[in-house]
Structure 1
Amino acid sequence: MSNDLNSSGDNQLLGQDDADEPQLAQTPQDAPSVLPSVSAIVSRLRFKQVALLTALDEQGSLHKAAEVMHMTQPAATKALHEMESALGVTLFDRSPRGIEATELGRCVIRYARLIQSDISNLRDELQGMLTGQGGRLSIGTIMGAAPMVTRALTRLREVQPEVSIEITEDTSARQLLLLDQGRIDLMVGRSSVSSQPQLYNYEMLRGEPMCIVTGLDHPLATAQKVRLQELMSSSWILYSSNMPMRIWIEHEFKLEGLKVPGNVIETASPFVTVTLLAQSNMVAVMPLDIAHFFAAKQMLCILPVHLKTRIEHYGIVTRKNATLSSIGKMFINILRQQN
């Protein structure tokens, strides 16, 4: 017997050919603008239906999604009909490439992933409590906040040695995507890069002083004073466009009456940046705390360039209405004490 969502009424569907293309629910033109109540939705939806949504999004095919879910294709078709009926909207459209989520479908899929992630975190935390392993915490951080985050994690491990911790370092924009998907519990970065910053709780921590760095063999590595104009003949390593550090350095160029260098290498990776600096006479922008770490290891040189402005502060970012575990709350308190 297949592991279907709802065995009742499946007999009519099981007689269909799995190769038949499913006819997905269509939203009538006169569909009501008011959605069903929360209690009505909760009473009709099931966890396995939620899992089917993400499988459909990942597989792009009802047939493949049914295989992943260990269901027959007719049963998957019926489950999708039930979800669309429960929500009162069309979630997927047919296309020559298979099925594709509608705009409303993409919204529902995003929340489906959050629900699955929360269930997974619930299971992990309960398992940790039962086995005395202290639970699990997943954290995102921008590069400039990494020293602060790692110091806080060291302190957390001292008081909770059994906790399992996952750290992701990336840009604020990418970390917010992970936060939206429930793949991280919290992040240390900036919510302002989002087009909808109101979706998040933000608690400011500190500023992020920036500096200009280069390799030890750069002609100006030992200079006592360097003007930004003197570096315009060098090749630059910069963050991608529209990122806070890129916007900041472009503003610095503008204040000095300089054009943004052309033919730059764009990366957010400190390892790639340091490796490039060691192999060339390039220059780069880097958070001062990170630069001090590499400079102490004699892996780069901080150039004495006077910078006129500061980059935006970073802070603790969490999803609104999300409930943090006790470990997450403890970590945030440690961050506050360090600030």
Structure 2
Amino acid sequence: MSISIRQLKSFIEIAATGSFIEAAENLHISQPALSLSIKKLEGVVGGTLFNRSRKGIQLTPEGKRFLPVARRLVSDWDSALDDLSRLFTKQVGRVSIAALPTLAAGFLPAVLADFKQQYPNLEISVHDLLASQIDDLVSEGRADIGLSVRPRNSEAMHFEPLIEDHFVAVCPIGHPLLCQKEVSWHDLLGYPIIDLDRMSSTRQAIERVLGDLKREMDLFCEVSQIGTVGRMVAAGLGVSALPSLSFLQISKEGLGWRPLISPRVPRQLGIITPTRSPLSAAAEAMLRKIREHVGLAKFESAPLLN
């Protein structure tokens, strides 16, 4: 038989008051119920904790040694419940988000500002990573929420579509392609290309288009940051194909864009969460805030989402 927290609190209250009657009143229980609780406690520990005499109620030597232990156990119990309550009420906790740089820079700041205002005591960490790295962090439980393209392992993670982006041709101001309302991939590939490295989801999408078209690009330079692509194109070193939302990250000075067609390539972005483990209360609150902001976001800097 185990000892209950109620029995410990009864024991502590009797020791403090020296009276079963007063202890019962303070605990808002009947005296017979209190006496039965202590009797069961003494049965579990194997001995008497109180001496009952005409002089009153006194702790036995064993009771005196057990009292600080009982107080510590009750204190730890109360602290544990308080900590759990603070987690559920979002007074404490931590949320970890892994996001594509496009979303980390262009979409998340407004979400986090709103979230922090509502839950000022919650800790937030943001990792701006490649899509494959986001998949790994979410599937391994190192990130609560991912904001990315559809994950490779659909069984281990749930994908909730939020935004559909499209690829655009990015050219320096004055480039001949900007004379057209739309640019075909065939026309774009006639110029030197500045592209992201092969690990990026953007590059992988472009490689799939090249495979379908049975074309190769004239790769002038391969870089790791979208901002670097923008600066190189603006400097006249080549052209590029980027998701429309990338314009939330880069300076548009010296750049022009046109929709890419033949084919028009959609790029679906959404929320990634693990399928095999539930989210914490803090992460659930963040998820609700993200969904709320997707409906409000205007993405003014993204040319195809106006």
TM-score using structure 2 length: 0.56
Determine which structure has greater relative contact order: mean sequence separation of CA pairs < 8 Å that are 6+ residues apart, divided by chain length.
Answer: 2
In 2: Cα distance, 1:262 partner to 1:179 partner:
36
Give the Cα separation in 2 of the matches to 1:217 and 1:312: 28
Counterpart position of 1:203: 160
Superposition deviation, residue 312 in structure 1: 4.3
Q: Within 2, Cα distance between the matches of 1:293 and 1:190?
A: 17
CA drift at 1:140: 0.8
Distance in 1 separating the partners of 2:262 and 2:112: 31
| Secondary structure, aligned partner of 1:313 | strand
**Take 2:266 and 2:200, find their aligned partners in 1: how far apart are those partners?**
11
Q: Which residue of 2 aligns with 1:260?
A: 216
Query: For residues 333 and 268 of structure 1, do their structure 2 counterparts lie closer, same or farther at Cα, with a shift above 3 Å needed?
Result: farther
Answer whether contact 2:197 2:224 (CA < 8 A) is retained.
yes
Q: CA deviation at 1:240?
A: 4.3
**Deviation readout 1:35-84 (Å, 9 max, x if unpaired):** xxxxxxxxxxxxxxxxxxxxxxxxxxxxxxxxxxxxxxxxxxxxxxxxxx
- In the other structure, the counterpart of 1:161 is 120
Check the 8 A contact 2:96/2:125 in 1, yes or no.
Answer: yes
Contact 2:166 2:264 in 1 (8 A): no
Alignment partners' CA distance in 2, 1:309 and 1:273:
21
Q: How does 1:136-151 map to 2 (within 5 A)?
A: 136-146=94-104, 147-151=106-110
Q: Is the 8 A contact 2:184 2:262 kept in 1?
A: no
Query: Contact 2:95 / 2:123 at 8 angstroms: preserved in 1?
Result: yes
Distance 1:200 1:152 in 2: 22
| 1:275 equivalent in alignment to 2:231 | yes
For residue 247 of structure 1, report the CA deviation from its aligned partner. Answer: 4.5
2:189: which partner in 1? 232
Aligned to 2:169: 212
TM-superposed CA distance for 1:284, in Å, is: 1.8
Q: Structure 2 CA distance, aligned partners of 1:202 and 1:224? A: 34
Mark the CA change 1:293 to 1:276 in structure 2 (over 3 Å): closer, same or farther.
Answer: same
Q: CA deviation at 1:224?
A: 4.7
Instruction: Tell me, in whole angstroms, the C-alpha distance in 2 between the residues paired with 1:299 and 1:151.
Output: 27
**Number of residue pairs matched by the alignment:** 208
Write the distance in 1 (CA, Å) between the matches of 2:291 and 2:215. 40
Over 3 Å counting, the alpha-carbon distance change for 1:154 and 1:217 in structure 2 is: farther
Question: Are 2:169 and 2:183, in contact at CA under 8 Å, matched by a contact in 1?
Answer: no
How far residue 167 of structure 1 moved from its aligned partner, in angstroms, is 1.4
C-alpha separation in 2, matches of 1:329 and 1:288: 29
Partners of 1:309 and 1:242 in 2: how far apart? 22
Change in CA separation of 1:281 and 1:263 when aligned onto 2, cut-off 3 Å: closer
Do structure 1's residue 192 and structure 2's residue 151 form an aligned pair?
yes
Pair 1:151–1:299, CA change in 2 (3 A):
farther
Structure 1 gap ranges (5+):
1-124
CA shift in 2, pair 1:225/1:314, >3 Å = closer
Structure 1 pair 232–312 and aligned structure 2 pair: CA distance change class (3 A): closer
Q: How many Å apart are 1:175 and its aligned residue?
A: 1.1
Q: Are the aligned partners of 2:95 and 2:282 in contact in 1 as well (CA < 8 Å)?
A: yes
CA distance in 2: counterparts of 1:149 and 1:246, whole angstroms: 23
Which of 111, 118, 129 pairs up with 1:170?
129
Instruction: Give the match for residue 135 of structure 1.
Output: 93
Query: Deviation at 1:254?
Result: 5.8
Q: Give 2:282's aligned residue.
A: 327
Partner in structure 2 of residue 306 of structure 1: 261
TM-score (norm 1): 0.51
Classify the secondary structure of the residue corresponding to 1:230.
Answer: helix
Distance in structure 1 (CA, Å) of the matches to 2:262 and 2:121: 44
**C-alpha spacing 1:171/1:281, structure 2 compared with 1 (3 Å):** same
Kindly tell me: are residues 270 and 246 of structure 1, through their superposed partners in 2, closer, same or farther at Cα, counting changes over 3 Å? closer
- Give yes or no for contact 1:218–1:281 (8 Å, CA) kept in 2: no
Q: Deviations over 1:272-300 (max 9, x none)?
A: 222322333322222212226646x5253
Q: What is aligned with 2:272?
A: 317
Q: Secondary structure of the equivalent of 2:173?
A: coil
How far did 1:332 drift? 0.7
The answer as to whether partners of 1:199 and 1:320 remain within 8 angstroms in 2 is: yes
Alpha-carbon distance in 2 for matches of 1:299, 1:329: 42
CA drift at 1:227: 3.9
Which protein shows a greater Rg? Answer: 2
Give, as a single letter, the amino acid of the residue that structure 1 aligns with 2:275.
K
**1:104 aligned partner:** none
Alignment gaps of 5+ in structure 2: 1-82, 296-306
- RMSD of aligned alpha carbons: 3.3
Give, as a single letter, the amino acid of the residue that structure 1 aligns with 2:258: L
Q: Which residue of 222, 245, 265 maps to 1:289?
A: 245
In 1, the alpha carbon distance for the partners of 2:218 and 2:177 equals 21
